[in-house]
Amino acid sequence: MPIEVLSLKEIPAVSITGVQQNSRKVTPGNLFVAQVGDMVDGHKYIPEAIKKGAAAIVGSEALEGKFDVPYIQVSDSRAASAYLSAAFFGFPARQLTVIGVTGTDGKTTTSNLIYNILLQAGYPTGIISTVNAVIGDEILDTGFHVTTPDAPEIQRLLSRMVTAGLRYVVLETTSHGLAQDRVTGCEFDVAVVTNITHEHLDYHGTYEAYRAAKGRLLDYLAETAPKKHGNPRVAVINRDDMSYEYLRQKPVENLVCYGQTSNQATIWSENICFDACGLHFDLVSDTFRLPIVSPLVGDYNVSNILAAAAAAIYGLGIDPPVAARGVAAVHGIPGRMERINLGQKFTALVDFAHTPNALRKALETARRLTKGRVIAVFGSAGLRDREKRHLMAEESARLADISIFTAEDPRTESLDDILAEMAAAAAKVGAEEGISFFRVPDRGDAIRFALQMAKDGDLVIACGKGHEQSMCFGTTEYAWDDRIAMRAALAEFLHQPGPQMPSLPTSRKSA
């Protein structure tokens, strides 16, 4: 969508050293773009930005003439920040084939699968995802709980990729990122939507608004001008998901549908088998049939593999056998169904399921991996979609033998209140406190409690934190890693040397 300049007729030539939308990051010579946020109005930080040396300001309010540096009023300062950042770095996305992956669940997994297929094909590729950003040999942290960085940071990363000689980038793209124009100017060539279920309704308000935000990834395809590489623009959508009917109405040049059956799908799976060691199935289209073998577990990963294979084969022209080899090379994604094994006689897993749909899939998978009981440990984040904590507690009450509700980034909400809401939801579907569900506020204690209860052959799964390295209490991030916590607790029980259990404010209080 074009951005209108509402103030100056003639924009003065100002030489700038970068674009920032956060005054705290401004350095001398930067262009500061003021945005109206949910918490504060960024226009109030203009004086601070100027004090730090901003050479010019862009904003959406009529403030022309109020400052000593040029002020340019625009109709949409979020989109402006993205376009200006792209322009500052010389529109790096135009030098790259950009693959965007969105969806409620499976974005990181699908992004990593595509990334590995591209590497297998010998294409120089970068990735920006929840777990990290990778540029050649360099692995960069994208920050606490951040998936899609802000526009200036994305454009900086893309520019570094171009400089490093990369030609492809896989960009994990969240609904927040799409709604806030963080990926405007990314000039997508391939757009993948894994699924759209209940999540982030605190932010988007309704499922329809959330779906529309995700759908924007497909709209970007139509806006992308032809690039030098001349690849077709392709949208990849999931025939099995409730978003299918909505997404297939989008006016995209090339639509590819994948599904676990051949029904209306371009590419589908047959003969799916999975166990604790991984999965295999036949990847089928009208023109080929190919065996796929993957160390990933869970039939939802069949969908993720189908999405990645569809993007690679139909969007990027990669031969199906190369795609199959790329899939086989992905041995696991950190914190996704990650097995913690210190020789104990039951299974211990850490998984990143933190939506009702993901939790259901994770617990259904867990059920198929054990003949014993499934013991689930998880919580629900504070200051995020409140409805989801009820849905997740209900799912677990139905699918796990024992659910242990615990801390998961309570932020400034009361942890006890969150746990009370989860307990009420579990009780509503017939679960009994003290028998099939428990509230253990400290996450380290919750993990210990679960492991203590586990008998030979049972399965303990800690969901919701996955690879994450911190947990937020109040406004402070405390060092936390579920995998370390689980290893520490197992080592305690097995009287083996092991890591120290990380300490959270809840454990300090109870100590």
Ligand X SMILES: CC(=O)N[C@H]1[C@@H](OP(=O)(O)OP(=O)(O)OC[C@H]2O[C@@H](n3ccc(=O)[nH]c3=O)[C@H](O)[C@@H]2O)O[C@H](CO)[C@@H](O)[C@@H]1O[C@H](C)C(=O)N[C@@H](C)C(=O)N[C@H](CCC(=O)O)C(=O)O
Binding residues for ATP: 103-109
**Which DSSP category does 511 fall into?**
-
Q: Counting contacts by CB under 6 A, is residue 209 touching ligand X?
A: no
Q: Which of 72, 97, 107, 437 binds ligand ATP (CB under 6 A)?
A: 107
Q: Is 6 helix (H, G, I), strand (E, B) or coil?
A: coil
Torsion, Cα 379 382 384 389, to 10 degrees, reads 30
Q: Counting contacts by CB under 6 A, is residue 100 touching ligand ATP?
A: no
Q: Counting contacts by CB under 6 A, is residue 148 touching ligand X?
A: yes
Q: From the list ligand X, ligand ATP, none, pick the one residue 243 interacts with, judged by a Cβ distance below 5 to 8 Å according to partner type.
A: none
Residue 511: count of CB within 10 angstroms of its CB: 7
Q: Counting contacts by CB under 6 A, is residue 105 touching ligand ATP?
A: yes
Q: Which of 194, 260, 269, 506 binds ligand ATP (CB under 6 A)?
A: 194
The residue (of 88 and 268) whose beta carbon lies closer to ligand X is 88
The contacts of residue 111 (CB under 8 Å, 6+ apart) are 101, 127, 129, 170, 171, 172
| Ramachandran quadrant class, 343 (left: phi over 0; alpha: psi -120 to 50; beta: rest) | left
Stretch binding ligand ATP (CB under 6 A), from 53-61, 285-293, 297-305, 407-415: 297-305
**In angstroms, what is the minimal distance from the CB of 72 to ligand X?**
16
436: exposed, middle or buried (Cβ count in 10 Å: 0-12, 13-18, 19+)? middle
**In angstroms, what is the minimal distance from the CB of 387 to ligand X?**
16
Stretch binding ligand ATP (CB under 6 A), from 37-45, 87-95, 103-111, 270-278: 103-111
Taking alpha carbons only, the member of 171, 1, 176 closest to residue 80 is 1
The residue (of 211 and 336) whose beta carbon lies closer to ligand ATP is 336
Asked if 112 contacts 330 with a C-beta cutoff of 8 angstroms, the reply is: yes
Q: Which residues are annotated as a binding site?
A: 23, 103-109, 147-148, 174, 180, 182
Q: Counting contacts by CB under 6 A, is residue 30 touching ligand X?
A: no
Q: Which of 18, 19, 23, 351 binds ligand X (CB under 6 A)?
A: 23
The contacts of residue 435 (CB under 8 Å, 6+ apart) are none
Q: Counting contacts by CB under 6 A, is residue 351 touching ligand ATP?
A: yes
9: exposed, middle or buried (Cβ count in 10 Å: 0-12, 13-18, 19+)? exposed
Number of Cα atoms under 13 Å in the Cβ half of residue 448: 15
Beta strand pairing call for 56-59 and 470-473: unpaired
Q: From the list ligand X, ligand ATP, none, pick the one residue 106 interacts with, judged by a Cβ distance below 5 to 8 Å according to partner type.
A: ligand ATP
Taking alpha carbons only, the member of 154, 142, 80, 79 closest to residue 108 is 142
Q: How far apart are CA 11 and CA 64, in angstroms?
A: 12
Q: How far apart are CA 169 and CA 190, in angstroms?
A: 10
Asked if 335 contacts 466 with a C-beta cutoff of 8 angstroms, the reply is: yes
Q: Counting contacts by CB under 6 A, is residue 228 touching ligand X?
A: no
Size of the site for ligand ATP (CB under 6 A): 21
Q: Which of 2, 10, 13, 24 binds ligand X (CB under 6 A)?
A: 24
Stretch binding ligand X (CB under 6 A), from 38-46, 242-250, 368-376, 502-510: 38-46
The residue (of 22 and 507) whose beta carbon lies closer to ligand X is 22
**In angstroms, what is the minimal distance from the CB of 93 to ligand X?**
18
Q: Counting contacts by CB under 6 A, is residue 45 touching ligand X?
A: yes
Binding site for ligand ATP (CB under 6 A): 103, 105-109, 130, 147, 194-195, 300, 303-304, 336, 351-353, 357-358, 361-362
Binding site for ligand X (CB under 6 A): 21-24, 35, 37-40, 42, 45, 146-148, 150, 174, 176-177, 180, 203
